[in-house]
Amino acid sequence: MPAKTIMIQGTTSDAGKSILVTGLCRVLARAGLSVAPFKPQNMALNSAVTLEGGEIGRAQALQAQACGLEPANDMNPVLLKPNSDIGAQVIVHGKVDSTLDATAYHERKPALLHAVMESYRRLQDRYEYIVVEGAGSPAEINLRDRDIANMGFAEQADCPVILVADIDKGGVFAHLVGTLDLLSETERQRVDGFVINKFRGDIELLRPGLSWLEQNTGKKVLGVLPYLHGFHLDAEDAISPDTDVRPEEPALKIIAPVFPRISNHTDFDPLRLHPQVDFRFIGSGEAIPPADLIILPGTKNVRQDLQWMQDNHWFPAIYRHLRYGGKLIGICGGYQMLGSVIADPLGIEGEPGSSEGLGLFRMETELRPQKQLKQVRARLALDDTPVSGYEIHAGITQGKALQKPAVLLPDRQDGAISEDGRILGCYLHGLFDEAAACASLLQWAGLDQAQATDYRAMRERQIERLADVIEEKMDIAKIFPLM
């Protein structure tokens, strides 16, 4: 029997779709039901590697964890990774398919719908329930034609929809009613109810509005979820401004630049939440403060972001930081920047050409079409501490610097450590996820007696907390019959 399906759509981006899908997946899973997440089309620079060696949105990997599953390509069949303001790399079934501008992608959608439905049907055959996440808002009338991310998929799959809105942003009733009003009649009939997210205050003051909403739309309010203080789960794409812990005691100061095309910034979540770390992202035009450690993140367009670093005076700041004894880490694209040259002869990430790097490692990188996608278990060369993560990169790096590697894998070596031991770089995302590896790297950076904080266990506790709130605040008995 094919899986029962329900789709969560939002009135806006960041309304709470990813979080609600994650929580519902855990509610179903701990009820003993087999459930899988699904997002037809995602646009994000935070991605994860599947066991098949494919690439999907990071949010779907988190939702897979909520289901008790390993992430799989079919959970996010189409992933868009923007590499400019008008173009993106298109990932289909986990592999790079093409690089298209917005107009060309829109023309391609009918063909991509076939790929979406192939993945959906395979999941239907394997699981009892599928919880689907929409993208952005279904009320983008300029994108309704050929839509595959919201109502276009819901109509094709013939599944009910729950509409979620964020009351913390204000205007929640206008968001819900306005979204319904912009849908077609068949799409409105498909919406079976509302969820209001991030409510603060006395629920009794909200009830008159809830009654009005139900009377005027004919749709049920299926739940009002509270604003969860101190809540954190991996961001789908944008950097969350309220995640960082600010330690009261003197702590290790870490900064990282916010590249215009920063990718997998979730690498730093264990640091942002660490009680002994004062972590700060530094954006365009901001002063670069003193720090114990600078980390250069991954990027979807390494040469453009390298130019951004020069324009924002990061080069002299990094050289000065190292002269005064600071430590430096480069991850993936940030690691490539540590070398002398980054060449893109085929225009993989933009215009063909090459750029000079920071020149801190004797190595050169060439971008090539074949992307490396691997889950990795390894050991830090610093002290043989176990570390695990994943690789997502299109570059091949070579040079004498690699003779002193940063990471030791069973079959090869990765990255480099400088002769003076103050610079470390590698391709491995998730460097700080393992408690022991995180503590080891923080001690290397200058933190005495670094606490070993288990970020993965922390994530699991947050998923459980979310599921508890959903079971308490939502009418689950009404939602299951909808499926």
Whose CA is closest to 374, among 46, 47, 54? 54
Q: How many CB atoms lie under 10 A from the CB of residue 201?
A: 10
Report the C-alpha gap between 165 and 198 in whole angstroms. 9
Report the C-alpha gap between 306 and 333 in whole angstroms. 9
Q: Tell me which amino acid residue 245 is.
A: V
Q: How distant is the alpha carbon of residue 80 from its chain centre?
A: 12
CB-based contact 98:77 (threshold 8 Å) = no
- 269 sits in the region (left: phi over 0; alpha: psi -120 to 50; else beta) called alpha
Q: How many CB atoms lie under 10 A from the CB of residue 68?
A: 12
Which residue is catalytic, options 25, 67, 159, 332?
A: 332
Give the residue carrying structure tokens 């992933």: 79
Tokens of 320: 């000065």
For this structure, is 332 an active site residue? Answer: yes
Give Dmax over CA atoms of the chain in angstroms: 71
List residues with catalytic annotation: 332, 429
